[in-house]
Structure 1
Amino acid sequence: MNENNKITEKNVIETEVTMGPVHSAAIEPYRVRLFVEDEMVKDAEITVGVNHRGIERIMEGLPVEKANSLTEKICGICSNSHIWNSVLVAEKAIGIDVPERAQYIRVIMEELERLHSHLLYLAHGNEVLGHETFAMRIFYIRETVMELLRMIGGNRVQYGASIIGGVRPRCELDAMRIQKISEGMDIIEEKILDFADRFVSDPMIMSRITGVGVLTRKQAIELAASGPTLRSTGVETDVRTEMEAYEPFDFNVITQDDGDVKSNLLMRVLEIPEAINIIRQAIKHLPDGKITNRSWDMQDAPITKSYIEVPRGKLYHSYALEDGRVRNSIVRTPSITNIGAMQYAAVGHHITDAQLAIVQCDPCFTCTDRAIQIIKI
């Protein structure tokens, strides 16, 4: 103190708070280091790698159809997305025409998985918020989707629907299955609209998520954020608008403007009716014909790339073909950059909001854990 008894120095408590690799608010193992001053986050570091299984290395030299099946094991939430994109690589490399009916069934499976993923995200988000009732309601709605996936593919998690040239015979849609899908969409739409009304009408929840974990449009672009995480900042981009399989369908690209937790949650809520709309169009206009084209010959091909839009953003697969076997496989999931962006979204918030800011991008650490290092920009 000086002569006038005024405080001239400020004592700041600096500390590091570590969460993980196991934490009650995290579905998967990862490590978060929060550098805190007086309970405010000044910097954050997210480390992945706990779930590394070396799938890309295991794929090296495998017969292509076996390697495609292995990609389903990358992620239990996006299993259909991975095998579909992996199959697309071979189809592009060899020049295989896929029957139109098979394309429609692939889209139906992918949009069902989008529903499954978004509903899981909303349930987990409410769990992190401490709202167990909302979380359980969403899990209840999600069961309808899981049963539809089981009905079509035979499993609740890994369905093995896509194969080179089309879809498996067990995934054919007869009149009974089409009716069940239609009824399921009605149930989900009614219940998700009721949930959305309750959700946005709850002042405690809205005050808890508004303005938390803000990622600006500029930051999202510079950090290569993808999918709903990027669209939540107002960037209107969706790989489905560039995919041949989605050309017959009309749907809106949903965006929000604030880039915070509220925007990310609303992104998923509003994308669910769009997914339902695409599924309804697909079953209504499902073309007749074969679901598999097996009139092709395996041949060598250079490294071929494929991008698709999965629930979390842009998914990349590539590999070369040599004697019917996969070479130089690379898989890049959208979470790798979205997680890196969350290191910035967590900064400037109270420590109690840090985990909420991190999980707002719907991170999938297991499918991300093929990367060796995240380079800080």
Structure 2
Amino acid sequence: MEEKVPRSNIIETEIPMGTVHPAALEPYRVRLFVEDEIVQEAEITIGVNHRGIERIMEGLPVEKANALTEKICGICSNSHIWNSCRTAEIGLDIEIPERARYIRIIMGELERLHSHFLYLAHGCETVAHETFSMRVFYLREIVMELLAMIGGNRVQYGCSVIGGVRPRCDLDEAKLQRLKDDLDKLEEGLTDFAQRFMADSILISRVTGVGVLPAKQAIRLAVTGPSLRATGVARDLRTTMFEYDDFDFNVVTQPDGDVKSNLLMRALESFESIKIIRQAIANIPDGKVVNRDWEMFDTDIIESYIEVPRGTLYHSYALESGRIRHSIIRTPSMANIGAMQYACIGDHVTDAQLCIVQCDPCFTCTDRAIEIIRR
């Protein structure tokens, strides 16, 4: 695959986009440098959504800080509170009940479905295929209702606590049966969507070969999650997380690193998430859902990495008298957004926004940097 080479002396047209754009779910700013309507260079700047979450966490009691992390993002709120609680559990050597571990897996994979379906719907909307977009939003609604059934809210469920999950998030037989029934509906609907998507020659031609990111460049730019696996690199942190030791699933990859590969990645990974949830339902152990038998003590900086819908999520902090010190949160979109500057190069200016949103960016999660790549 021919390597893209950014031009260093672009003196032609600059096209600004944002900070508000109809194809973007969140505000950010893009500068496109084009020649004959072909993108020669791109610059993505964020910072509009910065709210200082890490600074606010400084000095808060760890339980209160954990709850605050859930407010970082409405799409992956469960991922943030899970990893924040997990950080404390690693540092304090807290053993998690097996039943709580399974419920966390169910919530995590439901949230992956919720995020991937939003991505697929937004991707179809970006290429002006509103019918496909509405079909996926219908499927996502089923997932949102399942999340609300378990956590009590459609977003920000407050499921994880230090030592396990909240007792109100425990799953009785009626809830487990509803999960089984709705997973059947989801799989049937997702299969139908995928078949219709692949059979639409106009849509496939629109997204094939657009926004290509080679595997070598993706690795150099530290791309993570489905955006990396869409370049053919089989790297998924779930394969190293102890929470997933009992679960069988495939690490899905796609070979081309373009918009089509990214769309197919999310669709195919959704089938794997359904498979994982089914295993959790079938094998969920009895017992308590939270371990309260632990003691607080001071720690050095603790680190935790988990795989979330967009890639690797990093949380770290130290504990001092039960309070947070030196909190750092690194979201997967930080690297992925930067890589999209590269993916734009060589494509037509009308495809630029499609190239950027193919990485499923979450600017609110990421917004602690002003400029992604400074040359």
The TM tier, using the shorter chain, reads: over 0.9
Structure 1 residues 221-269: Cα deviation after superposition (integer angstroms, max 9, x where no partner): 0000000000011100000000010000000000011000000000001
- 1:158 aligned counterpart, secondary structure: coil
How is 1:224-303 mapped onto 2 (pairs within 5 angstroms)? 224-303=222-301
- Residue 47 of structure 2 is matched in structure 1 by 49
Greater Rg, structure 1 or structure 2?
A: 1
Structure 1 residues 284-323: Cα deviation after superposition (integer angstroms, max 9, x where no partner): 0000111000001111111000000000000000000000
Match for residue 370 of structure 1 among 351, 360, 368:
368
Match for residue 107 of structure 2 among 109, 114, 117:
109
Tell me the percent identity: 70
For 1:312 and 1:32, locate their aligned partners in 2 and report how far apart those are by CA, in whole Å: 21
Check if 1:316 corresponds to 2:314: yes
Cα deviation for residue 373 of structure 1 reads 4.0
Match for residue 75 of structure 1 among 73, 76, 82:
73
Q: Which amino acid aligns with 1:105?
A: I
- 1:326 aligned counterpart, secondary structure: strand
CA contact (8 A) 1:255 1:267 kept: yes
Cα deviation for residue 375 of structure 1 reads 3.5
For 2:372 and 2:51, locate their aligned partners in 1 and report how far apart those are by CA, in whole Å: 17
- Residue 84 of structure 1 is matched in structure 2 by 82
- Residue 177 of structure 1 is matched in structure 2 by 175
Cα deviation for residue 14 of structure 1 reads 1.8
- 2:300 aligned counterpart, secondary structure: strand
CA contact (8 A) 1:13 1:38 kept: no
Cα deviation for residue 38 of structure 1 reads 1.0
For 2:274 and 2:280, locate their aligned partners in 1 and report how far apart those are by CA, in whole Å: 10
- TM-score, normalised to structure 1's length? 0.96
- 2:286 aligned counterpart, secondary structure: coil
CA contact (8 A) 2:341 2:356 kept: yes
Structure 1 residues 7-43: Cα deviation after superposition (integer angstroms, max 9, x where no partner): xxxxx99211111000000000000000011111000
Q: Which amino acid aligns with 1:346?
A: C
Q: Which amino acid aligns with 1:161?
A: C
CA contact (8 A) 1:55 1:370 kept: no
CA contact (8 A) 1:315 1:334 kept: yes
Cα deviation for residue 342 of structure 1 reads 0.2
Match for residue 337 of structure 1 among 327, 330, 335:
335
Cα deviation for residue 193 of structure 1 reads 0.3
For 2:176 and 2:76, locate their aligned partners in 1 and report how far apart those are by CA, in whole Å: 23
- 2:345 aligned counterpart, secondary structure: coil
For the structure 1 residues 372 and 300, does the alpha-carbon distance in structure 2 shift closer, same or farther, using more than 3 Å as the test?
A: farther
Q: Which amino acid aligns with 2:153?
A: N
- Residue 118 of structure 2 is matched in structure 1 by 120
Unaligned runs of 5+ in 1: 1-11
For 1:371 and 1:329, locate their aligned partners in 2 and report how far apart those are by CA, in whole Å: 16
Q: Which amino acid aligns with 2:169?
A: C
- Residue 14 of structure 1 is matched in structure 2 by 12
Match for residue 191 of structure 2 among 185, 190, 193:
193
- Residue 133 of structure 1 is matched in structure 2 by 131
CA contact (8 A) 1:119 1:142 kept: yes
Q: Which amino acid aligns with 1:355?
A: Q
CA contact (8 A) 1:56 1:370 kept: no
- Residue 3 of structure 2 is matched in structure 1 by none
For 1:13 and 1:186, locate their aligned partners in 2 and report how far apart those are by CA, in whole Å: 55
Aligned length: 366
- 2:21 aligned counterpart, secondary structure: coil
